[in-house]
Chains A and B, each alone.
Chain A
Amino acid sequence: MPYRISRLGLVEIRSLDLDRDLDYYLNVLGLQLTAREGKTAYLKGWDERHAYSFALTESDRAGMVRMAFRTVDPEDLDYYEKRLKDFGIKYDIIPEDYRRGRALRFTAPSGHTVELYNEMDYTGNVLPTVNPGPWPEGLRGIAPPRLDHTLVTAPEPGKAIEFFQTVLEFRLSEMLVAPDGTIVAAWLWQRPAPHDIAIVPGKAGGFHHAAFVVDSADALFRAADILAMHKARIDYGPGRHGITRGTTIYFFDPSGNRLETFGGYTAYQMDPDSRAIRWTQDQIGPAVFYYSQELNETFLSVYT
């Protein structure tokens, strides 16, 4: 099976106060601002080459507006359009969006708005394209290089997981399995990394977190320092997940949306032949929080 999705290209989140939250995203999380258009701000990590990967839209509530995956080639969008038709999934064609080409938009069984697109303005990262240095000076805040993955909730996680597997051809990297063998939660990938999206039980359309890359242990602890210096609300960490092996800090933006610094540098590399790792439900503690070995109160109950 060839892989047709290059990455989680966009997460759009609702903000209760865009001025306040944008200040946080620019100066504490340290994303780059591409543009602010009305009630939406378009952002990205410093090493991302397309126009934006994260959007923040003012609303009367918190939570996720949509997630969008970028296909590897333009033809892959046609491939998926045929697949949506074959599976009888209703979809809309979005001719264009801010600095982005045609997209397919549909609702996953989890209740989330999902889009597939291929074209977005290629702006380059913040480094020169000729003889670049390894990283830019003068960044503010945590300054993650890029968006990594999202984790969302579903009332019937099995159905949502099956949708992402069969219709969108994501593969399981890891799963949490109940004693009767049903899959309770899953981590799914196409890009050769532990996950592009994960699904856990919870309300329809629920947003658990979006994760940004930190690429060393130094960066992880520096991120924790920055969050604490700004009195940001840390939910958990620094720590490590059993699932994916990635290091983690969970924290909240000022509107209460959970974010993560994810240390994929500790994770494994996927191979097309990689097969799913199984976690039994009685080991959910170390599966999620490897060091404390138990779930905290907020992991399964607090999300937007």
Chain B
Amino acid sequence: MADLGAGEAGLYTITLRPVGGTVACGPEETVLAAILRAGASVMFGCRGGGCGTCKMRVTSGQIEHGRCSAAVLLEEEKKCGWFLSCQARALSDLTIELSAANKYRVLRSWWRLSLLDS
């Protein structure tokens, strides 16, 4: 499994479930930016907190939501762990439960990265 920079000083570790693999996230970057930087493909759209395409769910850890449209990220959703990954920043290590579509994309990304290593 890919472990891209996770565990380095000053970085939080994002664990992507259920595919396995971890991604390092700096304090200044969004969760989406960290995941994309690690080479994992996940769904996103406007990257402005407006469209809701990049919505994900955190099952452990703390995030700061950033500026998100109340039309696509409801207060009730926030209470259940949903967040917009293009705006959110990690405040601790995170565990993210991927949607079925994102799970497939991340698995495919890890497979592509493994081709570069071999």
Q: What residues of chain A have their CB less than 8 Å away from a CB belonging to chain B?
A: 16-17, 60-63, 233, 235, 252-258, 297-298, 301-304
Contacts and interface: CB of A to CB of B under 8 A. Distances in A.
A60 B46 contact: no
B45 A61 contact: no
Contacts of B70: 60-61
Given A256-B48, A256-B49, 12 more contacts: A60-B69, A61-B70, A62-B46, A233-B46, A255-B49, A256-B47, A256-B51, A257-B50, A297-B43, A302-B53, A304-B46, A304-B69
Nearest to B46: A256
B72 interface: yes
B67 interface: yes
Interface of B: 43, 45-51, 53, 67-72
A61 B71 contact: yes
Q: Which of B43, B46, B50, B53 has the most CB of A within 10 A?
A: B50
Given A301-B53, A302-B53, A252 B47 contact: yes
Contact of B48 (A60, A255, A301): A255
Q: Dominant SS at the B interface? A: loop
Interface centre among A16, A256, A257, A303 (most CB of B within 10 A): A256
A77 B45 CA distance: 39
A253 B43 CA distance: 19
Nearest 7 Cβ contacts at the A-B interface: A256-B50, A256-B48, A62-B50, A256-B46, A302-B45, A61-B71, A61-B69
B105 to A, nearest CB: 11
Nearest to A207: B50
A62 B53 CA distance: 13
A16 B71 contact: no
13 contacts: A16-B48, A16-B67, A17-B67, A60-B69, A60-B71, A61-B69, A233-B46, A255-B48, A255-B67, A256-B48, A256-B50, A256-B51, A304-B51
Contacts of A252: 46-48, 50
A258 to B, nearest CB: 7
Contacts of B50: 16, 61-63, 252, 255-257, 304
Contacts of A233: 46-48
Nearest to B50: A256
B72 A61 contact: yes
B69 A298 contact: no
- A17, A233, A254, A302: most-surrounded residue (chain B CB, <10 A): A302
Contacts of B71: 60-63, 304
A252 B49 CA distance: 11
A304 B53 CA distance: 10
B72 to A, nearest CB: 7
A62 B51 contact: yes
Contacts of A16: 48-50, 67-69
A30 B27 CA distance: 32
B48 A257 contact: yes
A256 B49 CA distance: 6
A179 B6 CA distance: 51
Contacts of B46: 62, 233, 235, 252, 256-258, 302, 304
B98 to A, nearest CB: 17
Nearest to A298: B45
Contacts of A256: 45-51, 69
A53 to B, nearest CB: 21
A254 B87 CA distance: 11
A13 to B, nearest CB: 10
Contacts of A235: 46
Contacts of B48: 16, 62, 233, 252-257
A134 B79 CA distance: 56
A63 B46 CA distance: 12
Residue of B70, B71, B72 ringed by the most chain A CB atoms within 10 A: B71
A153 to B, nearest CB: 12
